[in-house]
Structure 1
Amino acid sequence: MAERHGVYVTEVPASILTPVSPLATIPVVFGTAPIHMSKLASPPVNVPFLAESWEQYKDALGYSEDWENYTLCEFAFSHFQLYKQSPAVFINVLDPEMHKESVNPSPVTLTSGTGTINVQGILINTVKVSSTGQTPTDYVRDTDYTLSFNSAGHLILTAKPGGAMIAESSVNVGYDKLKPEDVDSGVIVGGTDGVTGAVTGLEVLKQVFPRLRVVPGLILAPGFSHDPVVGAVMVAKSRKINGNFNAQAITDIPGNQTAAQVDKWKEDNLYTDKAQFNTWPRVTKSGRTYRLSTHLAGVICQTDAENDGVPYRSPSNKALHIDGIVLDDGKVVALGPDEAELINAEGIVTALNFIGGFRSWGNRTGAFPDAIDPQSSFIPVRRMFDWWNNTIILTQWMYVDDPANKRLVEAVVDSLNIRLNGLQSSGFILGGRIEFNKQDNPKESTMNGKLKFRNYFTPPSPGQELEFMVEYDAEYLSAI
């Protein structure tokens, strides 16, 4: 190589933003990844992986443009490349030991010692290369040939100089390849093995905090969350994670439903929980099609990061990095505010191309309109309650098992009231306080080490309706 002598600078595209507050906004995403392209010796399967950058994601889980088969790639591209957010937890359920098929050896033509196998999902460690003669010779990887993947995820076979394969113009290649189409709702839901105790699918959510020390904030499964079974389990698993933490599930309503059908589909399939944020339909950007849940997560993380990690602002009426709104079949959806309002009224978040370009549109959780109280029906209020509840657990855990005396009570009350006063002065809440009341703590409870604190907490609701009363005032005629 040429000798270098001097000062050199290499500019790297921005892909990492340091998270301001991981407590409310870390997405945990379930799906399938092209792990045949992973650079790790043991790619993560049914194990939570924390990625803090685009490159880290690609190195660990691989990347493919085939988003229908490799659903985690859609989210990773949107999260790191479009919305410039970090980090996110990815749980790949595509298991190369289970979801694979064998392909018999077939000829591959070599041009100047190189051949390409235009197949997705080839497991590189299963590749076998042999000569095409009547008495085949098995070639040895890294001695006679090397293997690599191109940007499309196709395998490149290259004869090594000095190896036994260097003079061949054609060789036979056999291999195993991934079958992502075998991953269905049952695989995403997963469970716990009664014999080994191994957990799979959505059950892995309970391992996120013990393994990574981060609290799940948003639960997603793009490409699968429109399945009612998956949607129901996502919501169930988002509550009392590890017996303590609460998150929210962002689910998709199928893009084969029209605007006139989404309300009935939502009710029929019980997408009606306060911890569920429903999205419809799909969206596009630069020729790629995304689930709206993917983009809503990006908007939520971006909005929280702009507000010190406190989720008090609604993700509604925030810019989406998209250039179109479509159904599954590619038909363009062009909603006006009046039509989008009807969809919002059913507890569904949609996208709107109106004033300010493409925007997310909708403040309501899946519980609306059956539930109308703010902490059940408004997305930012629901998120603030979950965020504050998780904050209490994380900050007050240090006092567990300390002597149950006046000093402990004062420490808890003072620390939380100081935090609440700070939130109020910053405009994140309208007000809040912690009390330790005698009536809540009878002697039978305190003597058994049980202390109960009462918390009053009021986040602001989103100002989703601004009404102006315009009147003709004849008094101004005096100016004539």
Structure 2
Amino acid sequence: MATYGHYVRATETATAIVPPTRVDTALTVVVGTAPLHLAAQPMGVNKPLLVNSYSEAVTQIGQSKKWEDYTLSEAVYSEFALYQVYPAIYINVLDPAKHKKTETNVNVTLTDNTGIIEKPVLLNTLVVRKTQAAEPLQIDKDYTATYNDDEQLVISMTAPAASVVATYDYLDPSMVTEDDIIGGVASDGSLKGLELVHQVFPQFGLIPCTILAPGWSHKSAVAAVMKAKETNISGIFSGLSLADADTETVRNYTQVVEWKNKNNYNSNSQVLCWPKVSLGGRQFHLSTQLAHLMGQTDAAHDNLPHYSPSNKGLQADSSVLKDGTEVYLTPINGAYLNGQGVHTALNFIGGWKAWGNRTTAYPSKTDPKDTFIPVRRMFNFVINTLITTYWSKIDDPTNLRLIDSVVNSAQLWLNSLVSRGALLGARVEFREADNAKTDLMDGIIRFKVYLTPPSPAREIVFDLEYDVEYLSVLFG
């Protein structure tokens, strides 16, 4: 029953134009192994960790110089120290309860009451005695145990001693296999490894845009699972996976294409890199630096992914194979790899640059949206933004107000992308031909979106001609 009124009052109507939600264009999700023994507050195992700063990363992930053993350290250093982009999601699969070994009654010789253990000791398992039969000593009372800059565990006694006996567990990263990286669904329903990519948005409200597994993505089984996640993140979002070709067996650029085809690196949303790059003697997987270079490039262009990372500066002073052999490619060599859907590094004009625009779908596919990296990323960006923006409209009444709200607000947003140069043109339509009456009755409505991201100018041609008419200047 209507309430009798005798007053001035106001009501509110929802705005017909819906502002778009913000979608980070280059959020990386990195799956690998962490040096938990060096972390002050160690992250969990198979639990996504959101990191917004270098200090957070070092505190929870740890920082090691042994990147082959602890692959997350490479990504942390590249992201925060070299490219200074954030945030990032890290997933550690190195399990101290599983990937460990035990040393019992190890004699540690002391010099000036100080001794060193080379192994990556888990401090919560360390037991120190004066002799094998003696009672355990108390840490921080009878002795201290800390890691030095060389990642050695230093035991310092508070009372004079020539030696002690230590028992401990230590991490063994060599026990980690590609099955740990791939992960899956455990018997208790929990997710592991790459399967945790699906948990990032429900847990943090952030969309994974780039999937990395440095040191593992050259394994075809790992790359295949990364590839499976690209267009099905949390069941609806789209992203990109970056992989590396093997730099141990593939020693010449002419061998890369055969390796790529043999190992089935062929996807609209996958980028393959070869070789590695090095800075100050420290090797990086090219996929690692490329991921962070994309974030840096996006940040320099209004946080939009329409600029290609190609021909942008890498943090490198050489490109190398796994054994350290330096690789110098000419533009012709680089163009050959690019033409086969492989991204590389080139030192030609302006220092070391990322070089290549194609996904691994090229050259078997030529559709720009499936083969050009920035075009593919713009499609992903538009897809993900439309999903997050209009998710709130799910289950609203299917009427003209809903349709007009979606069409008008989406068009305004697309127009803004055009005005900023991220799209050459775009429009959204609600077409009768796309919407059968039976679908409308069943609550299914379809909108057609046309968009044209700019293709990268991969080839610029100047045509020079000798003009004889200019000889007339000889006669004044």
Q: Which band: TM-score by shorter chain?
A: over 0.9
Of 237-246 and 457-466, more deviation after overlay is shown by: 237-246
| 2:402 is equivalent to residue 401 of structure 1 | no
Residue in 1 that maps onto 2:174: 181
Which amino acid is the alignment partner of residue 167 of structure 2?
G
Cα distance in structure 1, aligned partners of 2:107 and 2:89:
41
Which amino acid is the alignment partner of residue 272 of structure 1?
N
2:43–2:49 CA contact under 8 A, matched in 1: no
Which amino acid is the alignment partner of residue 255 of structure 1?
T
Residue in 1 that maps onto 2:3: none
Q: CA deviation at 1:334?
A: 1.0
Residue in 2 that maps onto 1:249: 241
Residues 142-186 of structure 1: CA deviation (Å, up to 9, x unaligned):
3322322222222122334xxxxx233311011000110111211
Residue in 1 that maps onto 2:192: 200
SS of 1:304's equivalent in the other structure is helix
Residue in 2 that maps onto 1:118: 118
Residue in 2 that maps onto 1:303: 297
SS of 1:76's equivalent in the other structure is helix
Q: After the TM superposition, which residues 369-388 of structure 1 pair with which residues of structure 2 at under 5 Å, given as runs? A: 369-388=363-382
Residue in 1 that maps onto 2:338: 344
Which amino acid is the alignment partner of residue 392 of structure 2?
M
Q: Which of 295, 313, 324 lines up with 2:318 in the alignment?
A: 324
SS of 1:472's equivalent in the other structure is coil
Q: CA deviation at 1:23?
A: 2.1
Q: After the TM superposition, which residues 47-126 of structure 1 pair with which residues of structure 2 at under 5 Å, given as runs? A: 47-119=47-119, 121-126=120-125
Residue in 2 that maps onto 1:222: 214
What is the RMSD computed on CA atoms of the aligned residues?
Answer: 1.3
Q: CA deviation at 1:137?
A: 2.2
Q: How many residues align?
A: 451
Q: CA deviation at 1:450?
A: 1.2
Q: CA deviation at 1:97?
A: 0.8
Percent identity, please. Answer: 44
Residue in 2 that maps onto 1:455: 449
1:318–1:359 CA contact under 8 A, matched in 2: yes
SS of 2:442's equivalent in the other structure is coil
1:44–1:61 CA contact under 8 A, matched in 2: no
Cα distance in structure 2, aligned partners of 1:321 and 1:263:
26
1:64–1:152 CA contact under 8 A, matched in 2: no
2:198–2:235 CA contact under 8 A, matched in 1: no
Cα distance in structure 2, aligned partners of 1:123 and 1:149:
11
SS of 2:243's equivalent in the other structure is strand
Q: CA deviation at 1:22?
A: 5.5
2:23–2:384 CA contact under 8 A, matched in 1: no
Cα distance in structure 2, aligned partners of 1:217 and 1:370:
24
1:131–1:171 CA contact under 8 A, matched in 2: yes
Q: CA deviation at 1:307?
A: 1.1
Cα distance in structure 2, aligned partners of 1:219 and 1:265:
21
Q: Please report the TM-score for the alignment, with normalisation by the length of structure 1.
A: 0.92
Residues 40-93 of structure 1: CA deviation (Å, up to 9, x unaligned):
2x5221111111111110100111100110111111111111111111111111
Q: CA deviation at 1:198?
A: 1.6
Change in CA separation of 1:253 and 1:197 when aligned onto 2, cut-off 3 Å:
same
Cα distance in structure 1, aligned partners of 2:258 and 2:376:
24
SS of 1:172's equivalent in the other structure is strand
| 2:137 is equivalent to residue 139 of structure 1 | yes
Residue in 2 that maps onto 1:26: 27
SS of 1:23's equivalent in the other structure is coil
Change in CA separation of 1:320 and 1:305 when aligned onto 2, cut-off 3 Å:
same
Cα distance in structure 2, aligned partners of 1:233 and 1:85:
26
SS of 2:225's equivalent in the other structure is helix
SS of 1:230's equivalent in the other structure is helix
Residues 357-383 of structure 1: CA deviation (Å, up to 9, x unaligned):
111111110000000010111111111
Which amino acid is the alignment partner of residue 29 of structure 1?
V
2:23–2:381 CA contact under 8 A, matched in 1: no
Of 378-387 and 433-442, more deviation after overlay is shown by: 433-442
Residue in 2 that maps onto 1:16: none
Cα distance in structure 2, aligned partners of 1:366 and 1:355:
26
| 2:357 is equivalent to residue 363 of structure 1 | yes
Residue in 2 that maps onto 1:422: 416
Of 173-182 and 141-150, more deviation after overlay is shown by: 141-150
Q: CA deviation at 1:292?
A: 0.7
Q: Which of 139, 143, 151 lines up with 2:149 in the alignment?
A: 151
SS of 2:170's equivalent in the other structure is strand
Q: CA deviation at 1:443?
A: 2.3
Cα distance in structure 2, aligned partners of 1:317 and 1:22:
25
| 2:456 is equivalent to residue 466 of structure 1 | no
Residues 254-301 of structure 1: CA deviation (Å, up to 9, x unaligned):
113111100011011110111100000011101111111111112111
| 2:281 is equivalent to residue 280 of structure 1 | no
Residue in 2 that maps onto 1:14: none
Where structure 2 has 5 or more consecutive residues not aligned to the other structure, the ranges are 1-21
1:417–1:433 CA contact under 8 A, matched in 2: yes
Residues 102-152 of structure 1: CA deviation (Å, up to 9, x unaligned):
011212233444322122x2111000111126x422112233223222222
1:22–1:309 CA contact under 8 A, matched in 2: no
Cα distance in structure 1, aligned partners of 2:458 and 2:273:
18
Q: CA deviation at 1:405?
A: 1.1
1:436–1:453 CA contact under 8 A, matched in 2: yes
Of 104-113 and 297-306, more deviation after overlay is shown by: 104-113
| 2:224 is equivalent to residue 232 of structure 1 | yes
Residue in 2 that maps onto 1:263: 257
SS of 1:348's equivalent in the other structure is coil
| 2:58 is equivalent to residue 38 of structure 1 | no
Where structure 1 has 5 or more consecutive residues not aligned to the other structure, the ranges are 1-20, 161-165
Q: Which of 159, 164, 170 lines up with 1:171 in the alignment?
A: 164
Which amino acid is the alignment partner of residue 105 of structure 2?
P
